[in-house]
Chains A and B, each alone.
Chain A
Amino acid sequence: MSDQKTILIVEDEPDVSVFLKTLLEDEGFSTLTASNGREGFEQAKAQHPSLITLDITMPEESGMRMFRDLQEDKDLAGIPVVIITGVSPEFKGFIESRNQVRAPDAYFEKPVNRNDLINKVKELIAN
């Protein structure tokens, strides 16, 4: 598949990262992984993925910071971002109401429903 879409998975929990990678590859996407925000941003800059899944609570640099950096970068601002996090549901309201950043394209709370996640990812990439 020459026009295979690439998805960047930013996740610090290795098992979760492996799960998402396997799941998405089974759906025909190619994947990249990063274990913190800084590494994730560098990967996005270099590889220009079609979509990014992002955890919020990570060491080194938080997903929140990376999300903001993405918005501020002209080349990357258009990439859809799906938040996948273990942080409490109130955080969804918080991040969607910030003035500095746009709302994320989708928000999933761990543990995610596989089908919902796949459908959302496909929908966002199709657009």
Chain B
Amino acid sequence: MLAVDDMMKDGTFHLALFEALPVSVAVVDREWHVIAANKAFEETFGYWKGRTCHEAFKSNPARCKNCEARAVFEDGRIRVGDHQGLDRFGRACDYAVHFAPLRDEKGEVTHILEVASDVTETKRWKAEYDRLFDNVPCTISILDRDLRVVRANRSLEETYGRAKGHPCFKVYKGRTTPCENCPAMQTFKDGLEHLSRQSGRTPDGEETHYIVSTSPFTWDSDGVDQVIEISTDVTQLHVLEVELREAHELYQSLISNARDGILAVDTEGSVRILNDAAKRLIGWDRPDPPDPMTLRMMLPGDFFLPRGEMEQRPDYEFRIPAQEEGEGVDASGEIPVLFRAIELEGERHSLGRAAFLQDLSALRTLEREKLDNERLAAVGQTVAGLAHTIKNLLMGLEGGMYMVDSGLQRGDADRLSQGWEMLQRNFEKTSSMVRDFLSFAKGRVPKLVHTDPLKLIHEVVQLYRDTAKRLGVTLKVEEGKTLFDAPLDRDGIEACLTNLISNAIDAVTLEQEGGGEVSVRAYDDESNSLVFEVQDNGIGMESEVARQVFTTFFTTKGGKGTGLGLLTTRKIVQEHGGTIELDSEPGVGSTFRICLPRERLEAIASEQAKRDKKAETYSSGGRT
């Protein structure tokens, strides 16, 4: 115990110590006057001589309500209190004050030593820490060795309810026993940080997903005493992950089950997607995709054009050798494949490119079947029309026989000769029909060769120049744009044009004299069909008649025609995969139009090539 008098007498050491203390020290008498204070005190609270302690500490004229110094004067026991004062600049400051009694020789408390430590910074840190602890966007708990929550931040209690005093497995997951692989238990054991992914459940039953990190918080002689557990909620992320995985699985399944081949490469040219259909169509049977160099040799060159140039490329068709004989395998034993490539554009840069490969063989088979069906239908209609003609001929013959029979019986010579004429006429018709029909039904296989359509027209028109001139008919070819050659059966198309031109000349000379005009032209229409047109300004036809001209043995030329001309024309046109149509108006004229889709002409030509190849194989002794 230090007596005031001693301290005063004792000289320099204690005084120096007093002055040098890094805490504010003041000595206060029973009237609360500060009678001595050290340098730290003066630096903090300013001038003190002649002031009371409440004036010096707080610039407060009145005494503090709960003055610890008074109690110390009364019972002589040391006290500690938190106070807020004003420093010499008038700023609020927090300090902890230690009140110690100073006694005279008699042991009476005459003064009090007040030691004030500045805790302003500490207080601020604590406030900041508390705010941080409660407001960070993660849940924080401090656990004791029994995994009980000693402290929990606000975020934790808002999500999981009251936590303090409960074990963490109960709080986070509603469990009654600790979790397997508990990171907190590991930290208690080894004193290291641990990280793990956990799923929990809120009191409302909602599933939560979070990443928890545990680290030692306090230590005692037995090791880690408390563990701090910080969990970041990743529920949203988890949901996105699940959705992403599902989306990925969906695309994966769509791609692998697609009938069309799908292939994608990244910007380096490495294969990222190659489904089974694509493997089959590029003829790749190994499990690993081909490397960029190999791929370059397997795909059309357009696929490797610089970025931006590829977009202008239309669909591309290429052929691959067929692995086995199949329906759609074409003339050269190859499968036709439609190849369509696209750039894969990301938001900021290219992601690579993709290609879709479509096996066209089934489509080609269908197209061929359709063509065959149309040909069969044409034959069917022809036969039906033929039956009609035959019936009329039979009836005419029967009529002739009746007239002859009854004429003989009655001795009616006129009737007899009339019947005889009927018989002759119908026999003639029959033989002429049989002749035409044989040429129609000969089943001549069309032989398609590359032909200049305009040249063909000129050749046919040339045949009719003299006839037209004699009959006073203007016959002209309307020259249009130059046309590409087309695979045509020259004889067949020539027969069609001959028939149409001869019909047209008949139409303009039948009921009028002079002024007849027949125009012939060929052009490509907007759907890439080669069109031949024969137009006349003749008598024209009622729609009723026009409808029938291609479907029955139809003639308006009395005994002159057999009605087979237009049927034959139609048959040839259909063998070319084309159609024939008629625009006609009575008194104005008729236009016959033959439309031959160029694609179909090529298909038929390719089929013919295949047939020829087979025939060649057989004729060379079947060696392949």
What is A's interface to B at a CB cutoff of 8 Å? 13-16, 18-20, 22-23, 26, 57, 59-62, 65, 86-88, 109-112, 114
Contacts and interface: CB of A to CB of B under 8 A. Distances in A.
B399 interface: yes
Nearest to A90: B384
A86 B391 CA distance: 6
B121 interface: no
Nearest to A22: B403
B544 interface: yes
Nearest to B554: A59
A20 B400 CA distance: 11
A88 B391 CA distance: 10
Among A18, A60, A114, the one with the most B-chain Cβ atoms within 10 Å of its Cβ is: A18
B402 A16 contact: no
A50 B331 CA distance: 67
A41 to B, nearest CB: 14
Given A13-B392, A88-B387, A110-B394, A18 B399 contact: yes
B51 interface: no
A110 B391 contact: yes
A15 B406 contact: no
Interface string B297-319: 00000000000000000000000
A91 to B, nearest CB: 10
A114 B402 contact: yes
B535 interface: no
A111 B544 contact: no
B422 A19 contact: yes
A23 B406 CA distance: 9
Among A20, A26, A111, the one with the most B-chain Cβ atoms within 10 Å of its Cβ is: A111
Contact of A16 (B390, B395, B545, B556): B395
Contacts of B426: 15
B552 interface: yes
A19 B406 contact: no
29 contacts: A13-B392, A13-B395, A14-B558, A15-B396, A15-B400, A15-B425, A16-B392, A16-B399, A18-B418, A19-B396, A19-B398, A19-B403, A19-B422, A22-B403, A22-B415, A59-B554, A59-B556, A60-B542, A60-B544, A61-B544, A86-B390, A86-B391, A88-B387, A110-B392, A110-B394, A110-B395, A111-B394, A111-B398, A112-B395
Given A15-B426, A18-B422, A22-B403, A60 B396 contact: no
Given A86-B387, A87-B388, A65 B396 contact: no
Minimum-distance CB pairs A-B, first 10? A19-B399, A86-B391, A15-B396, A110-B391, A111-B394, A111-B395, A86-B388, A110-B395, A16-B395, A111-B398
B396 A109 contact: no
A45 B197 CA distance: 101
Among B391, B415, B542, the one with the most A-chain Cβ atoms within 10 Å of its Cβ is: B391
Nearest to B426: A15
A65 B548 CA distance: 14
A38 B328 CA distance: 54
Nearest to B555: A59
Contact of A19 (B395, B554, B558): B395
B402 A62 contact: no
Contacts of B422: 15, 18-19
Contacts of B402: 19, 22-23, 114
A39 B554 CA distance: 19
Contact of B399 (A15, A59, A87): A15
A88 B426 CA distance: 21
Interface string B547-569: 01000101010100000000000
Nearest to A86: B391
Nearest to A13: B392
Contacts of B388: 57, 86-88
A111 B391 contact: yes
Among B390, B395, B542, the one with the most A-chain Cβ atoms within 10 Å of its Cβ is: B395
B406 A13 contact: no
B395 A88 contact: no
Interface in B367-409: 384, 387-392, 394-400, 402-403, 406
A120 B603 CA distance: 56
A63 to B, nearest CB: 11
Given A61-B544, A86-B390, A111-B397, 9 more contacts: A15-B396, A20-B399, A22-B399, A57-B552, A59-B556, A60-B542, A86-B389, A86-B391, A110-B391
Contacts of B384: 88
A116 to B, nearest CB: 13
Given A15-B425, A59-B545, A60-B545, A22 B406 contact: yes
Nearest to A21: B399
Contacts of B395: 13, 15-16, 19, 86, 110-112
A13 B422 CA distance: 11
A112 B403 CA distance: 15
B36 to A, nearest CB: 132
A92 to B, nearest CB: 14
Contacts of A18: 399, 403, 418, 422
A10 to B, nearest CB: 14
Contacts of B406: 22, 26
Among B389, B402, B406, the one with the most A-chain Cβ atoms within 10 Å of its Cβ is: B402
A60 B542 CA distance: 7
A114 to B, nearest CB: 7
A13 B544 contact: no
Contacts of A86: 387-392, 395
A88 B380 CA distance: 13
A112 to B, nearest CB: 7
B387 A62 contact: no
A31 to B, nearest CB: 14
B563 to A, nearest CB: 11
A13 B545 contact: no
Contacts of A23: 399, 402
A100 to B, nearest CB: 17
Contacts of A60: 542, 544-545
A18 B426 CA distance: 13
Contacts of A111: 391, 394-395, 397-398
Contacts of A19: 395-396, 398-400, 402-403, 422
Contacts of B400: 15, 19
Contacts of A59: 545, 554, 556
Given A86-B388, A87-B388, A88-B384, A16 B396 contact: yes
Among B390, B426, B544, B548, the one with the most A-chain Cβ atoms within 10 Å of its Cβ is: B544
A47 B415 CA distance: 27
Contacts of B418: 18
